[in-house]
Amino acid sequence: MKRFAALVISFLILFVSLCACTPEKRNPTGDITVTDCAGREVSVPSDPKSVCVLCPFSGPIIVMLGFGDRITSFTNNAARSKLLMQICPSLENAAVVKNSGSVNAEEIMAKNTDLMIINSGVYESEAERAKIEAIGAPYIVIDFETIEDQLKAVDILGKTFASEEKAQKYISYFKSVIERTEKAEKGTPKRIYHSVNEAVRTDYEGSYCADWIALTGAENVSVQSGKLSIEGEKAYTTLEQIYVWDPDIIICNEAMVDDYILSDSKWEGLSCVQKGEVYQIPIGITRWGHPSSFETPLAILWLMNLLYPDSFQVDMDSEIKSFYKEFFDFEIGDEWLSAIIEGSEMREPKTEHKEDAA
């Protein structure tokens, strides 16, 4: 009798342990039920074979989670990333089903898609959402406006692909970078102007870019003044206003914009231009720190190095190599390292410069 009781107790302990190791919710069909960024509870296949990714942020995360070979269709943003294609060659065979226009639902259906990852832009468009729902495959919405929400989005993707351990590893790294910056000694704050894609597109209060730059202790001039023209989710200023702000430093996330600012006569009167304090933020799989970037921890460390060279030293070469090895099992050689830091050859520019109208 005692032996039987011991066996029962052992079985119960084993059962509880197994349950604790399976935090995602599984329904009777074996699918996984997750709650997406829109608050929708969605049943998704536990082992998706054909995934459509209409959220630029999610593509690299899915590759990081080990499911890059399941992506059969995606957006042009991901298709233009040379490093992502090198890390996950199977993406060369994926169809581009969304550029800047509408979704190509016919092509998505032709790929026998059994799971779709979309962003709020697609979800909130009545016409685009109707096309998505007509396809018949389950979809989850991934979106965020802050770093905190971004980490929740990574967690959701980890649950969706039953790869929570890998997702948590990235989340822990991001949090460790935030902790390093919070503990760092910071001198007199420098006034920064951040160029996003176009020379006069910039950050606004409450935006993702404003969130990560604030972690460095810098004074983000466009966030503080609020004198911006808002067009959807984009904020524009004018060259005249930038002269009023007179920033100490300009950082640019689009390749060649730094050269444009440094060489164009309309910008030469700015003191930071005269001092050469205009910098290209490195570009890897994405533009580091871009609103849809997952490489923001690297952007934070890069900017901290730039702002506080005497009190904050990070070996960025080592950090970069470690990041892509840890999360993508990809060795960054000297050639890729130089390309990432320079940024100009990593992807083709998407937009032309907006007129620097006063």
- Cα 275 to Cα 188, 261, 262, 272, 278: the distances in Å are 18, 12, 10, 5, 8
- Confirm or reject CATH 3.90.1150.10 for domain 186-342, answering yes or no: no
Tokens of 240: 């005249």
Q: In what order do the strands lie in the sheet with 71-75?
A: 95-98, 71-75, 51-53, 115-118, 139-141
Helices (H), 116-270: 120-123, 126-135, 147-160, 164-183, 208-214, 221-225, 239-245, 257-263
pLDDT for the residue numbered 356: 43
> According to the model, what pLDDT value does residue 353 have?
36
pLDDT tens digits for range 92-108: 999 999 877 789 999 99
Query: What 3-state class would DSSP assign to 29?
Result: coil
- Between CA 235 and CA 311 the distance in angstroms is 33
Q: For the chain, where do the domains classified as CATH 3.40.50.1980 start and end?
A: 26-164, 186-342
pLDDT, tens only, 202-240: 999 999 999 999 999 999 999 988 789 988 889 999 999
- Pair 116, 139: CB distance under 8 Å: yes
- What pLDDT was estimated at residue 281? 97
Tokens of 96: 């581009």
Neighbours of 33 (CB within 10 A): 13
26-164 fold: Rossmann fold (3.40.50)
CB 95 within 8 A of CB 73: yes
Return the DSSP state at 287: B
Tally of CB atoms within 10 A around 288: 25
Residue 290 to residue 207: CA distance in whole angstroms: 11
pLDDT at residue 29, rounded to an integer: 53
pLDDT at 11: 37
The 3-state secondary structure of 212-254 reads HHHCCCCEEHHHHHCCCEEECCEEECCHHHHHHHCCCEEEECC
The pLDDT assigned to 79 comes to 86
pLDDT value at position 357? 40
- The whole-angstrom separation of Cα 318 and Cα 338 is 13
Tell me the mean pLDDT per 10 residues along the chain, length 358: 38 35 46 96 96 96 98 91 96 90 92 96 94 96 96 98 97 98 91 96 95 96 88 92 97 95 97 98 96 96 95 94 98 96 78 39
